[in-house]
Amino acid sequence: MIADNSTILVTGAGGFLGHHVVKALEEYREGGTNGARLDIKILTPTRSRLNLLEQDHINTYLFKQQPDIIIHLAAQCGGIGINQNKPGEFLYNNLMMTTNLIEETRCVLPQCKFVGIGTVCSYPKHTQVPFKEEDLYNGYPEETNAPYGIAKRVQLEMLKAYRAQYGLSGIFLIPVNMAGEWDNFKDESSHVIPAMLKKFHQAKISGAPSVTLWGDGSASREFLYAGDCADAILRATLLHDDQEPVNIGTGREVTILELAEKIKKVVGYEGITIWDKTKPNGQPRRCLDVSRARTGFGFTAQTSLDVMLDRSYKWAQENEVL
């Protein structure tokens, strides 16, 4: 439970998921568990205030702020293209941010609760669907995302090791692919939904007769509304304290071909879709077993894929990022 006078540090608060988590925490602070406002301090430092690549910087910040809970969202991530172009950077930066923060938490705040966020990219390429948490180490991750996925695996193992040796209370959640407001629509680093929304929107505006997408459309993905993920993170922070990883998702998959058709409808694009089969599909299928989250802390995703796509597109239009 998050008590009165608690201080919560959210790394990566200015990012996509961070916006949703901070919103969920603010709503919880205003309503608490019985409608009474809680005296909770939410720390949302920028990179200049808290540089996770510098241990001394982390040490000084934690000693000064004394958070009771750390929700670690900060990460360097993106779609297939940028993962292929920057594998070393993705591995190093994600690994160092996480290991530095966990180590300094152990040194400065051994009673702090650490909420670690993993990635579905950590699962082996050919994991049997639905992905169960115990399958996490049954093979090598899909090659285009492997460095990022392995860095997140290390976070899980570090939290387990630090719980065993130092008594650090660390939990680890594995969200599936997300979309929603505040998503990243940059050409070089966006994930599949914002990338498609932008391509179809620009084709609609320009009157282009076709849109070219990567792969052949046969791969499947599961998508979670980021606001629902924030709800899962809050629930786990309040109710969960176990070292084993927990999947966070909807438990429903859709092919990329089907997704493209849904996005075309949302955008209102009437041209044709061309599939560039020289480009990678990525992992063949992704769909999670979400029973552990449901039984462990009562999380069930509430937002449908259609609603999520509609919210994402409206937000992108209103914020002129397309």
Burial 230-240 (b: 16+ CB within 10 A, else e): bbbbbbbbeeb
Confidence (pLDDT) at 291: 98
Residue 143: the pLDDT is 85
The CA-atom distances, in angstroms, between 157 and each of 11, 14, 136, 148, 292 are 20, 27, 12, 15, 19
Measured distance CA(294)–CA(21) in Å, rounded: 19
User: How confident is the model at residue 29, as a pLDDT?
Assistant: 93
Q: Whole-angstrom Cα distance, residue 177 to residue 77?
A: 12
Cβ of 189: how many Cβ atoms within 10 Å? 18
Catalytic residue among 28, 61, 123, 148: 148
Rounded alpha-carbon distances, angstroms, from residue 144 to 141, 152, 283: 8, 15, 9
Q: Specify the number of domains making up the chain.
A: 1
Distance CA 281, CA 266 (A): 23
| Omega of the bond leading into 45 within 30 degrees of 0 (cis) | no
Q: Could you identify the residue written with the tokens 């950590």?
A: 122
User: Which pLDDT value is given to residue 35?
Assistant: 66
Domain that holds residue 64: 7-183+222-253+284-303
pLDDT at site 90: 86
**Category of 12 on φ-ψ map: left (φ > 0), alpha (ψ -120 to 50) or beta:** left
Residue 97 counted as domain residue: yes
Residue 205 lies in a domain: no
Domain-embedded: residue 189: no
Q: Kindly report the CATH number assigned to the domain that includes residue 55.
A: 3.40.50.720
Active-site annotation holds for 148: yes
The tokens describing 187, both together, are 């050409």
In-domain check, residue 118: yes
* Tens place of pLDDT per residue across the chain (322 aa): 687 889 999 999 999 999 999 999 999 998 866 667 888 999 999 999 999 999 999 999 999 999 999 999 999 876 666 767 778 888 999 999 999 999 999 999 999 999 999 999 999 999 999 999 999 999 999 888 889 999 999 999 999 999 999 999 999 999 999 999 999 999 888 889 999 999 999 999 999 999 999 999 999 999 999 999 999 999 999 999 999 999 999 999 999 999 999 999 999 999 999 999 999 888 889 999 999 999 999 999 999 999 999 999 999 999 999 9
How far from 37 is each of 3, 67, 227, 264, 265, CA to CA, in Å? 11, 19, 21, 43, 42
3-state class of 274 per DSSP? Answer: strand
Encoding tokens for residue 249?
A: 């998702």
Which tokens sit at 234?
């809050």
Domain presence at residue 297: yes
Angle formed at CA 98 by CA 293 and CA 79, multiple of 5 degrees:
70
In a domain, 319, yes or no: no
Residues 30 and 24: their CA atoms lie apart, in Å, by 10
Which of 160, 158, 175, 16 lies closest to 98 in space, CA to CA?
A: 158
First to last CA, the chain: 40
Domain contains 262: no
Residue 77 near residue 117 (C-beta atoms within 8 A) = no
Q: Are 184 and 14 in contact (CB under 8 A)?
A: no
Sign of the alpha-carbon torsion through 49, 26, 233, 145: negative
Q: Does residue 265 form part of some domain?
A: no
* Residue 247: predicted pLDDT: 98
As a whole number of angstroms, the distance between CA 149 and CA 136 comes to 10
How high is the pLDDT of residue 83? 65
Q: Write the CA distances from 191 to 37, 38, 185, 219, 235, integer angstroms.
A: 37, 36, 8, 15, 26
Answer whether 253's CB lies under 8 Å from 221's CB. yes
Residues in the chain: 322
